[in-house]
């Protein structure tokens, strides 16, 4: 089974509460999402391997720690994934980026694909797929399927809110992919929305409703 990490940092929890509030404006929602994504990125990369290289400080030579291996890949599940992506790129500007365009059919709740573009050499890189919401997990599961078909072997999934139903479905589909989330909510309602949730993440980010 894939493991689940709930990031309980007080700043994450405080910012998330403001985002959940329906009175929070579109502009504030976007700003908070970008800020939270920095903190979540810190957690999802906490155990990256280090190597060392010799550098000279103004005082002396030293073996200084640097990240080992190839550049990371962040895979944004459009549209709302871009809200997490931007803050993560603030923290790791050298990361490569994959875009997976999916929307949820409102009747069937199936994920419908409309775009896919990823770096060609995913095999040797850590790929972190990002989407604020893990509801039924249809979108996240399809996105990870596609990334695996493109060669990704070492994956993590990062979201803001997860429903228990989504965690169970994602773990069944991708038991090898650890999940990182800022909160584990109560359940999905009859329309597939996370409760208590924050509403439709894409609409709240871009003011489309």
Per DSSP, 72 falls in state P
- Of 22 and 53, nearer to ligand PRP (C-beta) is 22
In the residue annotation, 24 being an active-site residue is answered as no
The residue range among 11-19, 31-39, 118-126, 199-207 that interacts with ligand PRP, by the rule CB under 6 A, is 199-207
Let me know if 96 is a catalytic residue.
no
Shortest separation between residue 143's beta carbon and ligand PRP, angstroms:
8
- Residue 100 near which of ligand URA, ligand PRP, none (CB within 5-8 Å, type-dependent): none
Q: Per CB under 6 A, does 202 bind ligand PRP?
A: yes
Full DSSP string of 27-48:
HHHHHHHHHHHHHHHHHHTTT-
Which residue in 89, 135, 152, 177 binds ligand URA (CB under 6 A)?
Answer: 135
Half-sphere CA count of 90, side-chain side, radius 13 A: 16
Q: Does the annotation count 121 as an active-site position? A: no
- Distances, alpha carbon 64 to alpha carbons 52, 67, 94, 112, 208, in Å: 5, 10, 19, 46, 47
Q: Where are the beta strands (DSSP E) in 121-178?
A: 126-130, 133-134, 154-162
Q: Which residues bind ligand URA (CB under 6 A)?
A: 133, 135, 193-194, 197, 200-202
Q: Catalytic site residues?
A: 104, 108, 200, 203
């Amino acid at each position: 089974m894939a493991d689940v990490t709930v990031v309980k940092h007080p700043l994450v929890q405080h910012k998330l509460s403001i985002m959940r509030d329906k009175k929070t404006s579109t502009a504030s929602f976007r700003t908070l999402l970008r800020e939270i994504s920095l903190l979540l990125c810190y957690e999802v990369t906490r155990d990256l391997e280090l190597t060392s290289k010799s550098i000279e400080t103004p005082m002396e030579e030293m073996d200084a720690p640097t990240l080992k291996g190839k550049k990371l890949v962040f895979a944004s599940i459009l549209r709302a994934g871009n809200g997490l992506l931007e803050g993560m790129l603030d923290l790791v500007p050298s990361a490569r980026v994959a875009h997976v365009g999916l929307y949820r059919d409102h009747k069937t709740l199936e994920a419908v694909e409309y775009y896919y573009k990823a770096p060609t050499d995913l095999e040797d890189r850590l790929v972190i797929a990002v989407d604020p919401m893990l509801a039924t997990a249809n979108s996240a599961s399809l996105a990870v399927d596609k990334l695996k078909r493109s060669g990704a072997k070492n994956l993590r999934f990062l979201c803001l809110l997860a429903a228990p139903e989504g965690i169970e479905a994602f773990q069944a589909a991708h038991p090898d992919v650890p999940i990182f989330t800022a909160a584990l909510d109560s359940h999905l309602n009859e329309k597939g929305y996370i409760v208590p949730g924050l509403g439709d993440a894409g609409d709240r980010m871009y003011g489309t409703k």
